[in-house]
Structure 1
């Protein structure tokens, strides 16, 4: 039960009536005692009524007064913060499929773990959210346009394929374009539904080299912030990851592919989003669980009078039942 705000606070004046009834009851009880002592012979009173009423005689009245107190609060319309599922929102899941995602520092590989967690993320989002999927390496592609069909997204996640290079900026621009397309299709006079990009990557942008390039990650993050689309970035992997790369001559070389936390954190900061790290499937799942809570629900002010109303009715009813049980009459 909450007392954080009221929609009709003038009803709180009813509590003064309850206070008045308490005062009146106390005064009536004291007046009755004075009258008894004034007009009754004490010796005769002891013989006629040797068993004086106990304190339980006040219980029915006390219960009813407390019930009226709760009912008065209910009439004032208390409100509280309530978490409700979003019915309109767009989320673009952007997944890095560069060759570094083949590293086995996360079992069985970074990509396989990302696929598993991504499907769980899709299943965990509230039904009203439109979820889309973008995969990126040297270029970015929309694999699934925003939709409430989770099976389409999960099927596309299963089909992710590795490729060379990492174009983080292109991935963000592509996700924003998909969000804009959905908003244009929905049309109407209402404002576009809230949107967010969830970007999972393990490495530094390589295309273009400079993240401040017009098509770079930092530039894209600034544009996302201007559009009110926060980017939640997830740095996935460890500092000791490696992959085996085969060159054109057929020679295999082991290359270190440590995660690049600073650039992904900067993208999140520039866009007004949140930055996360994960180095295992379990940690990645926990990150997605957190994002599901942030994205799938919104906090609104709602009516909280029902608990007070129920308590008031129960206390008043208990007062009547107690009165009939103890005194065979209503106070």
Structure 2
């Protein structure tokens, strides 16, 4: 494990730490002089000797940690370690057409699709880039390629059923492929009931193959079908199997959740290699927590403990 900085020029701010110490103890010295000047013997008894310094050392320590955390954050501190990783980048393409409201999955197909997409994000290695696309009669990029799991899961949660009819798989594959265009190895995980009625499926497959994109598909629904507010909607496995087979991917039925977990691991094709973990978010969060702790210690009854 080692650490690198993407913006090391900001590390000069660490030289301000001695200044923090100087200001801290200089201000304490002034307070002691004032106490002696006004003959406040109660104050003198509280600030004599070691107790004089120990009363404020916790706040000093917190201030130094806040400064160091913010400096490391803006300097782009990154941890490099050896971990399980995948050479692929992925786009989650989630069907949000009206047929995804069918109730053959509980509570409905779209909810289960979002749960499976979140499970995929949770099981992915830390350095894998993932994007999110939703599609019905047209496609929408919900999240650009990123390694930030919180942003990905938020994008997935925000997907709602489209008010427009139709499922354009061609546009979904086109949008997903374009999102992956700059990545080295590309894969799409497409979650749909296969009810495709817009766009040319063969053209979609050709576009994916021309750009070296592997499409794995998950069938959202049952062969018996489920009720929507318009009609009975059944799973069309043939279209989903065709897309997966023709692009070198695999088709998975969503109802087999146990095997899906294993399938996700196989999709990632894990190998041991060096991965980089950006620590910016963690350092900022740590600094914020320290500010809260400092406020709590200096503005509550616990002030006497420091």
Q: Same fold (TM over 0.5)?
A: yes
Shift of 1:88: 4.3
Q: Give the aligned CA root-mean-square deviation in angstroms.
A: 2.1
Structure 2 residue aligned with 1:63: none
Within-5 A mapping of 1:80-229: 85-86=84-85, 88-163=87-162, 164-180=165-181, 183=182, 192-208=183-199, 216-229=200-213
Shift of 1:288: 4.7
Structure 2 residue aligned with 1:307: none
Shift of 1:91: 0.3
Structure 1: runs of 5 or more not aligned: 1-83, 184-191, 209-215, 246-252, 301-331
Which of the residues 273, 276, 280 maps onto 2:252?
276
Alignment check: 8 A CA contact 2:136 2:168 kept: yes
Could you report, residue by residue, the CA deviation over 1:76-116 in whole angstroms, capped at 9, with x for unpaired residues? xxxxxxxx733543100101011111111111111111111
Shift of 1:119: 0.9
Shift of 1:172: 0.4
Structure 2: runs of 5 or more not aligned: 1-82, 274-306
- C-alpha change, 1:288 and 1:179, in structure 2 (3 Å) is farther
From the CA coordinates, give the structure whose radius of gyration is larger: 1
Could you tell me how far apart the structure 1 residues matched to 2:266 and 2:239 are? 25
Structure 1 residue aligned with 2:226: 242
Alignment check: 8 A CA contact 1:197 1:231 kept: yes
- C-alpha change, 1:244 and 1:274, in structure 2 (3 Å) is closer
Structure 1 residue aligned with 2:215: 231
* 2:268 is equivalent to residue 295 of structure 1: yes
Question: What count of residue pairs does the alignment treat as equivalent?
Answer: 190
Alignment check: 8 A CA contact 1:202 1:237 kept: yes
Within-5 A mapping of 1:47-66: none
> TM-score normalised to the size of structure 2?
0.58
Could you tell me how far apart the structure 1 residues matched to 2:247 and 2:108 are? 29
Could you tell me how far apart the structure 1 residues matched to 2:118 and 2:226 are? 25
Q: Runs (4+) of structure 1 moved beyond 4 Å?
A: none
Shift of 1:227: 2.1
Structure 1 residue aligned with 2:233: 257
